[in-house]
A and B are shown apart, each in its own frame.
Chain A
Amino acid sequence: MRNLRILIGGAMTLIVIVTALVALVWTPYGPTAIDILHRLAAPSAAHPFGTDAFGRDTLSMIMAGAENSIIVALAAVGLGAVLGIPAGLLAAARGGWTEELLMRGADLTFAFPALLTAVMITALRGPGAYTVMIAIGVFTAPVLARVTRTAAGVIWVQDYARAARALGRGRGAVTRVHILPNILSVLTVQITIQLSLAILAEAGLSFVGLGAQPPAPSWGRMLNDAQTYIYTAPFLTLFPGLAIALAVLGLNMLGDGLRDAMDLRRRRRA
C-alpha cells in the first residue's frame, strides 16, 4: 500500500519534472507565440490542449509553466530550508532563551500569510517570480524550523546524545554527528510536502497577479486569464487546473508514502 503511494506519487512528480526538463529545450510551439487566426481553438491534433485567447498553444504554455512552477518551488523551499533548518537545530541544541527567541520569531513569521508577505515584497520591488520565491520562502522557513526543532529535541534526550555530551563533545559536533542524520528522514518528508504547498502557493499568487509577469507562462495566471472565457472556451480552465492538481497531488502522495516508509515505529507496528 505505502509502496503503491510512493509509486503513484513518484510517477506523477516525475511526469511534472520531465515535462519541465523537456520544456527547457523543446515545446511544440513557442509558449509566448501568438496566432490570432487560431485563437480559442478547441483541443485538436495540432493543439492537443487547445489555444488561448491570443492563439497561444496551451500545451506549450503548460510545459513552460511546469518549469516556472518547479523553479519557484525549489528556490522558495530552498530558501526556507536554509533559514529554517539551522534555526531549528540551534534552538534544539541551545534551549533556554535562544530557543524561546527563535521559536517565537518563527511563530511571528508564521502569523503572516504568504499572500500578505508577497504583497509587501511587491510593494518594495514589484511583482515577479522572485517576489513569489521570497514570499513563499519566508512562509516555509518557520514550518521547517518547527519541524526541525521538534525532531531534534527528541534525539537530544536519547541516551547516545546525552552520552556524547557527557563525554565532552560540543553541541555543534553532536548536532552534526547524531542529530542531523537522525532527523533527515523527517526533513525529507516535510520538504516534499512543502514543495507541493509552494507550487500551490505560486499558482495562487500568480492568479492574483503577483507572480511571474506576462508573457512568462504560469499556471496560476493561465487560470486567471481563462476565467472570463469559461462560457466560450471551458477547456482553457481545465488544463492548467489539471496540471496544478497533478503536481500537488503527486508531491503530497510521495511525501505521505515516504513518511510511512521511513517511520520506524509505524513500520514495526505493521
Chain B
Amino acid sequence: MGIRQCSIILHDAATNMKAFRQVEQVGGRKNRDRTSRLLASGGRGGLLHCNTRGEERLLKTNMMRRPTILFAAAMVGLLPALPALAAPPDSLTLGIALEPPGLDPTAGAAGAIRDVTYDNIFQGLTKIDAEGQVVPSLAKAWTVAPDGLTYTFDLQSGVTFSDGTPFDCSIVQFSYGRAMAADSINAQKQLFAPIAKVDCPSPLKAVITLKQPISTFLYDMAWGDAVMVAPKTAATNKTQPVGTGPFMLSRWVPGDRIELVRNPHYWGNAPKLAAVTFRVIADPAAATAALLSGALDAYPDFPAPETVVKFQHDPRFTVDIGTTEGKVILALNDARKPFSDIRFRQALAYAIDRNAIVQAAYSGYGRVIGSHYTPSDPNFVDLANAYPYDPAKAKQLLQEAGVKPGMTFTITMPPPSYAQRSGQLVAAYLSQVGINVKLESVEWAQWLSKVFSQSNFDATVIAHVESRDLDIYARPHYYFNYDSPTYKALYAQYIAATDPAAQAALVEKLQRQLSADEPNIFLFALPKIGIWNAKLKGMWSNDPMPADDVTEVYWGP
C-alpha cells in the first residue's frame, strides 16, 4: 500500500478565489473510486480532505458557500473536471442510545430494532405517519365490510424487496402466517391473534378475515412488528434485513454504527438522502459532545435533557421537544406480596412526588401521567392528580395494609438515565414513609431476561414506548402480573367495539380502571427531545411509534 497524494484545486467562480490543497491519501483503487464518487455526488461544498486512514470528509469553508466550480486534479490523474457543485449533502448521521439486538422487527421486543427499521427498511400494509395517523403504505387503499370482519386491501403495484423479490398478496399471506404460527417469535403476537385467514383473490388484492371485529386492526397492522418479509430472506433478516423500504443495510459495525444506503429497487419516490448512518452513543455526555463537534447531524431522542439549554442557545441547532408514546412507570410485580395488595400500591403512589421526579430526572420536560396512556393521544384522560403527593395518606394506607416500617424491597434499574434517576428518587421518597428500597442496576440483557421474561423482580423503572398498549394489562402472564377480571372484560368490549364513540368511551374507562387499581405507579410521559443541525428538514417532531423515520429527511440550503 503506497502513499499517494491527491491534490485538489477548488475554484470559486463567484469570488474568483482559488484554493489549493494537497492531501495525502493512502493509496489503492478503492480510495480513488470513493474520492471520485464523493466528488461526483457533490458533498456539502468544500475542500476535499483525504486523511491517511482513507476516510473522506468534507470540510466546510466560507468560500464555498456560493456556487462553486471544483476542479479536481489529483496525482491519481483520473478525475476529470467536474461541473458546478452546490448541492447540499445527501448523507445523515444520527445518534441512537441503544444498539438493536438484531434488525428483524418481527423477532424481538426491543424498541431499538424499530427505531432503525421502521419504514426505513421494512414496511407494512399500513403505517403511522408523523402525526400518529394510520396512512397507506404497501396497501394503497382498503375497505372494511360493515360487519367489521373483512378487510380488503389494494396492494401497491411494482413493489419489490431490496433483493428484487416481487411483493404481492402471497407475501402478505406468508408474513402474517409466519407471525401467527405456533413457533412464531414475534414480540407482539397478540396483534395477529384475531386474524382468521388471508385470501388472495388476485395478486394485488389481500382479503383478511377476522375472527371478531377489532377496532384497532388497521392501527395494529401499522406496528413495526407487522411488516412484510419475504419467504427467502425471513430467516436471515436479523443480520441481513431485506425489506421493501427506501433504504437497505450496507454495513453494520457492532457496537458502533449501522449504515443504510438507498434501495435501488424502491417502489416509491426515492428518498432525498443517499446514505444514513445510525451511530450508537449511549453515554449522555458523549452524545452531547458528538452533537457539538458535528460528529452527529442529529439525535432524534436525545438522552441528556440537562444539556438541552446549551443547544437552545446555539443557532447551529434545532431543538424540537415533542412527545413520545413512552410511559415511564414504576412497574410492580403484582404477583408478589405486598404488591398484590391494592392499598400498598396506592400508598406507593401517594408517597412519590411525581412532579419532582419529572423535574429532577428529566429537567422538567415530560408530563406527569396517572394511567398507562399518553397526553398525545386524542382519547387521553388526565388522571395525573388521582394520587397527589401525600406522605401522611401513604403512611395511613401502609398501616391499613399491615406493612411495617422498615419493609424492604428492590428496584431493578436498567441503564438509561431516566431509569437510574427515577429509581433513586423513588427510593428517597419511599424512605420518608418508612420503606427501604434497595437499588440494583442491571444491563439490558439482564433486565430482559430477569425482569421481562422471568418476572423475577419486586419493582423496576421502565418506559413502555408502544402506543395505545392498553392490551398489556389484559395479557395473562405479562411481566408485572396484573390480573383483573374487570379490566379484561372492559378490554374485550373495547376491541370488539366498532363505533368510534363507544371506543373512545371505553378507552377512557380502561384508563380510569388502571388508575383506580394502580397496578404500576405511572410516573411521566417521556418527551422526545430532538436535536439536530438547523439545516436539516423533515425530522419527526413526535414519536407516535418507536421509529426514526428518515424517509422524508433532507438538507435545506
Measuring CB to CB, which residues of chain A are less than 8 angstroms from any residue of chain B? 32-34, 36, 39, 53-55, 126-127, 209, 213-215, 227-232
Contact = CB atoms under 8 A, between A and B. Distances in A.
Contacts of B420: 214
A230 to B, nearest CB: 8
Contact of B424 (A215, A230, A231): A215
Interface in B348-362: 353, 356, 359-360
Contacts of A213: 439-441
B439 A214 contact: yes
B285 A227 contact: yes
A243 B288 CA distance: 26
Kindly list the 6 A-B residue pairs having the minimum CB-CB distance in the complex, ordered from nearest.
Answer: A36-B356, A231-B310, A227-B285, A34-B428, A228-B284, A228-B304
Nearest to B420: A214
A54 B441 contact: no
A181 B285 CA distance: 51
Given A54-B425, A213-B441, A215-B424, A229 B359 contact: no
A100 to B, nearest CB: 41
B359 A36 contact: yes
A34 B422 CA distance: 12
B307 interface: yes
Interface string B277-302: 00000001100100000000000000
A179 B439 CA distance: 48
A32 B285 contact: no
A231 B441 contact: no
Given A53-B360, A227-B285, A228-B288, A34 B441 contact: no
Given A33-B428, A34-B425, A126 B309 contact: no
Nearest to A127: B441
B365 to A, nearest CB: 14
Contacts of B304: 228
**Contact-size category for B:** 20 to 34
B360 A34 contact: yes
B427 interface: yes
Interface string B433-447: 000000111000000
A36 B439 contact: no
A215 B428 contact: yes
A47 to B, nearest CB: 16
11 contacts: A39-B359, A54-B425, A55-B360, A213-B440, A214-B420, A228-B284, A228-B285, A228-B307, A231-B306, A231-B310, A232-B306
A36 B425 CA distance: 10
A54 B306 contact: no
Contacts of B310: 231-232
Contact of A32 (B306, B360, B428): B428
Contacts of B441: 127, 209, 213-214
B209 to A, nearest CB: 52
A215 B427 contact: yes
Contacts of A227: 284-285
B306 A39 contact: no
Nearest to B309: A232
Nearest to B305: A228
Contact of B306 (A34, A53, A55, A126): A53
Given A33-B428, A54-B428, A215-B424, A231 B360 contact: no
A232 B440 contact: no
A10 B403 CA distance: 50
Interface in B64-109: none
Nearest to A229: B306
Contacts of B360: 34, 36, 39, 53-55
A36 to B, nearest CB: 4
B131 to A, nearest CB: 32
Contacts of B306: 53, 228-229, 231-232
B133 to A, nearest CB: 35
A214 B424 contact: yes
A216 B306 CA distance: 23
A225 to B, nearest CB: 9
A51 B80 CA distance: 62
A54 B307 CA distance: 16
Contacts of A215: 424, 427-428, 439
A55 B359 CA distance: 11
Nearest to B417: A228
A203 to B, nearest CB: 17
A230 B307 CA distance: 8
A54 B426 CA distance: 11
Nearest to A53: B360
Nearest to B285: A227
Q: Give the one of A39, A227, A229, A230 with max B CB within 10 A.
A: A227
A52 to B, nearest CB: 9
A55 B361 CA distance: 12
Interface in B417-474: 420-421, 423-425, 427-429, 431, 439-441
A54 B357 CA distance: 9
A230 B431 CA distance: 29
A265 to B, nearest CB: 49
Contacts of A33: 428
Q: Give the one of A209, A228, A231 with max B CB within 10 A.
A: A228
A243 B194 CA distance: 63
Nearest to A40: B306
Contacts of A32: 428, 431
A227 B286 CA distance: 10
B211 to A, nearest CB: 47
A215 B429 CA distance: 12
Interface in B386-433: 420-421, 423-425, 427-429, 431
Nearest to A233: B306
Interface string B298-321: 000000101101100000000000
Contacts of B309: 231-232
A227 B421 CA distance: 14
B236 to A, nearest CB: 32
Contacts of A229: 306
A53 B420 CA distance: 13
B290 to A, nearest CB: 13
B426 to A, nearest CB: 10
Nearest to B357: A36
Nearest to B304: A228
Contacts of B288: 228
Interface in B323-380: 353, 356, 359-360
A55 B288 CA distance: 23
Nearest to B303: A228
A6 to B, nearest CB: 39
Nearest to B431: A32
A220 to B, nearest CB: 15
A231 B313 CA distance: 12
A168 to B, nearest CB: 60
A231 B307 contact: yes
Nearest to A227: B285
A232 B313 CA distance: 12
A32 B427 CA distance: 10
Contacts of A36: 353, 356, 359-360
Q: Give the one of A33, A126, A232 with max B CB within 10 A.
A: A232
Q: Give the one of B309, B310, B360, B427 with max A CB within 10 A.
A: B360
